[in-house]
Amino acid sequence: MQNDNIFVLILSLEQYQNTNLLSQKICGRTMTEWVQQATAPFKTKSIMVSPEDDIITLFKDNITGAPFTVVTYVDMPLLTIQDILDAVDYCFHKNVPAVKLPRGWVFNTSLVAESETFPVTDFMAANKANYQVAFNNTQIAKIRSMLQERINQQHIKNGVTIIDPQHTYIDADVELHPDVTLEPNVHLCGKTTIHSGTTILDGCRIDNAVIGQNSQVGPNAHIRPNSSIGNGCRIGNYVEIKRSRIGDGTKVAHMTYVGDSTLGKNCNVGCGVIFCNYNGKTKSNCIVGDDAFIGSNSCLVAPLNVGAKTYIAAGSVITESLPAKALGIARARQAIKEHYVTE
């Protein structure tokens, strides 16, 4: 069956107009977007209807030149392209005027358009569960679990190792390459891409970001949108990366915030470092050259450039740019007061 022989009429019930059900994200897509994805190969039309509207009248009011018309609903996010093709193939091979789906219809346009009455054949769907309706939050939660299982199993088939699929949360548009490993309680959101050989440890959230090959992220790291992590990197526990670029081989190992910054290759960022990107009004950038070493508990106050192979001493607050191969120290000298405590 060629796709241009199929027209899909998508019905949205009036009762959803004043609710947020259709706009809720389910594995990264709204219900409307899930149905749009399932009907993407076909010509479609979406209309608002009430529960009292007659399906046959709706069909006849929206006849196109397509030999077959599928009537479905916007509140069925589990529906797939294959479900639609299977239903139409059944109608075609049985040569019947109309087929009643578990929810929805298939009409043979030429046999129904001019008829007042016609026989209806029931369709025993191979995947009847895909016709479930997301009519409240309880049902949405159930459908979310089913969609998540579908997504996770597809990644496993493609060569991704998911340690605990029931506690791994991957949005529909995430791209995972073979040989990626995901530990439990990982959230991969939006259009995140993770390349081969990379391991995401437990408790991480990665949102619309790119992670290169053979890197390690986590545990409990947060990679925010528009960030990219290079190849062979290590992003450690309680690290937050926000709208930043991390070069190949760079390590940001412990409890660090990197915001609006670019780090070169093979840098080392110590524990507790903060890239201070916001002054209360504007956000500014830090640029760190290759092979730089940033000591623990340092603050880099943007805008700032740190040259290649430069060292920053632990505990420094750096407010001025540093040239290549320099050492930056910005902290009070230690004072020792002997005999400070008296008996």
Tokens read off for 301: 């106050």
Q: 195 catalytic, yes or no?
A: no
When computed from its CA atoms, the radius of gyration of the chain, rounded to whole angstroms, is 28
Which tokens hold the place of 330? 């910005």
Q: In this structure, what token pair is assigned to residue 217?
A: 């992220």
Among 307, 235, 247, residue whose Cα is nearest residue 273: 235
The beta-carbon contacts of 159-166 under 8 Å, at least 24 apart in sequence, are none
Task: Choose, from 177, 195, 254, 339, the residue flagged as catalytic.
Answer: 254
Q: Is 272 exposed, middle or buried (0-12, 13-18, 19+ CB in 10 A)?
A: middle
**Structural contact between residues 100 and 67, judged by C-beta atoms closer than 8 angstroms:** no
Alpha-carbon gap, residue 39 to 1, rounded angstroms: 15
Closest by Cα among 88, 60, 104, 78 to 2: 88
Pairing of β 25-26 and β 29-30: antiparallel
Query: For every residue of 225-271, which 3-state class applies, written as one string?
Result: CCCEECCCCEEEECCEEECCEECCCCEEEECCEEECEEECCCCEECC
Catalytic residues: 254
